[in-house]
């Protein structure tokens, strides 16, 4: 029997197939993605549609009631997380930009999830340090400035309930993490962050080849 490959490299055609074979987007998502695309180059910061579906499923499957996100931009990942939660769920979103999150607020209102979301503007490290120290979150998503990841990770993991999940975006950095001759502030920060996660005995973790690489970690009891 021909051995099956342990992974399947994606090209544009296969990625298109993958996108076409997930639950379809609704008008709120379509409009938000179109509005974000009109921002031009910044739009690359938005998470991918399959990642959004995955976040929503993870949140719903774990029954998360309190969640936190670092890096909201125009609100696509927050929309997915909020939609995965029950109506009494609470998502705390941290970002710096009034302008980009104004787009997010409109999309959340259209989707009917605005009441589940609190947005705090300001440097995320400061906001996180100001939160109660007790474990309070069931789910977290980190997707902001890459050099801030170690602080966001540490402040969030200590506030995660046992069994809680944290997902972190861009951990493969376009595949450059394994290209030893390549360096850059963000790339080196991601490499250091990945080693930090591996050494963190508070969690068990796995890197998923979703979008630009997604680390998924569960806080151990
Ligand atoms: C990659 S985007 C987030 C994309 C978003 N998750 C989505 O689904 O569209 C990164 C965001 O992090 C925010 N950001 C960058 N540095 C930050 C900081 N120090 N504190 C809080 N937010 C920050 C930026 O304003 C930007 O909106």
> Residue 4 above 80 pLDDT?
yes
pLDDT in tens, 154-202: 999 999 999 999 999 999 999 999 999 999 999 999 999 999 999 999 9
Overall average pLDDT of the 29-42 stretch: 98
pLDDT in tens, 90-99: 999 999 999 9
Q: Is 211 left (phi over 0), alpha (psi -120 to 50) or beta?
A: left
Distance of alpha carbon 98 from alpha carbon 104, whole angstroms:
10
Distance of alpha carbon 119 from alpha carbon 74, whole angstroms:
12
Distance of alpha carbon 82 from alpha carbon 56, whole angstroms:
8
Pair of tokens at residue 3: 């051995």
Write out the H or E segment, with its range, that includes residue 199.
helix 185-199
Residue 45 Cα to ligand 1 middle (Å):
8
Overall average pLDDT of the 130-145 stretch: 97
Residue 94 Cα to ligand 1 middle (Å):
8
Distance of alpha carbon 206 from alpha carbon 140, whole angstroms:
15
Residue 12 Cα to ligand 1 middle (Å):
26
Write out the H or E segment, with its range, that includes residue 194.
helix 185-199
Distance of alpha carbon 149 from alpha carbon 158, whole angstroms:
14
- Residue 60 banded pLDDT, cuts 50, 70, 90: very high
pLDDT in tens, 67-126: 999 999 999 999 999 999 999 999 999 999 999 999 999 999 999 999 999 999 999 999
Work out which ligand 1 atom sits closest to the CA atom of 141.
6
Distance of alpha carbon 186 from alpha carbon 183, whole angstroms:
8
Distance of alpha carbon 176 from alpha carbon 50, whole angstroms:
22
Residue 189 Cα to ligand 1 middle (Å):
16
- Based on its alpha-carbon atoms, the radius of gyration of the chain, rounded to whole angstroms, reads 17
Pair of tokens at residue 10: 């994606």
Phi, psi (deg, nearest 5) at residue 205: -145, 160
Overall average pLDDT of the 51-80 stretch: 98
> Residue 2 above 90 pLDDT?
no
Residue 74 Cα to ligand 1 middle (Å):
9
> What confidence score (pLDDT) does residue 1 get?
77
What is the share, in percent, of the chain residues with pLDDT greater than 70? 100
> What confidence score (pLDDT) does residue 164 get?
98
Phi, psi (deg, nearest 5) at residue 99: -65, -50
Hey, which of 39, 52, 69, 72 would you mutate to test ligand 1's pocket, going by the most ligand atoms within 8 Å of its Cβ?
A: 72
Overall average pLDDT of the 25-34 stretch: 98
**What lines the ligand 1 site, CB under 6 Å?**
45-47, 71-74, 76-77, 94-97, 100, 123-124, 143-145, 148
Give the up-direction half-sphere exposure of residue 134: CA atoms within 13 A in the CB hemisphere: 2
Query: Taking CA 82 as the corner, what is the angle to CA 76 and CA 88, rounded to the nearest 5 degrees?
Result: 165
């Amino acid at each position: 029997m021909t051995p099956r490959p342990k992974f399947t490299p994606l090209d544009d055609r296969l990625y298109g197939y993958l996108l076409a074979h997930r639950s379809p987007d609704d008008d709120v998502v379509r409009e938000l993605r179109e509005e974000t695309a009109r921002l031009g180059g910044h739009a690359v910061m938005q998470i991918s549609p399959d990642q959004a579906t995955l976040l929503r499923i993870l949140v719903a499957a774990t029954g998360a009631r309190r969640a936190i996100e670092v890096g909201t931009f125009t609100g696509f990942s927050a929309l997915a997380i909020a939609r995965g939660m029950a109506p009494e769920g609470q998502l705390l979103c941290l970002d710096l930009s009034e302008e980009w999150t104004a787009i997010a607020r409109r999309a959340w209102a259209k989707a009917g999830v605005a009441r589940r979301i609190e947005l705090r503007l300001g440097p995320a490290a400061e906001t996180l340090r100001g939160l109660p120290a007790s474990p309070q979150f069931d789910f977290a998503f980190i997707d902001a400035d890459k050099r801030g990841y170690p602080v966001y990770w540490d402040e969030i993991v200590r506030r995660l309930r046992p069994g809680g999940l944290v997902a972190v975006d861009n951990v493969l950095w376009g595949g450059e993490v394994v290209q030893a001759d390549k360096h850059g502030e963000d790339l080196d920060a991601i490499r250091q962050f990945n080693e930090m996660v591996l050494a963190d005995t508070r969690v068990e973790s796995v890197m998923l080849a979703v979008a630009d690489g997604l680390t998924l970690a569960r806080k151990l009891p």
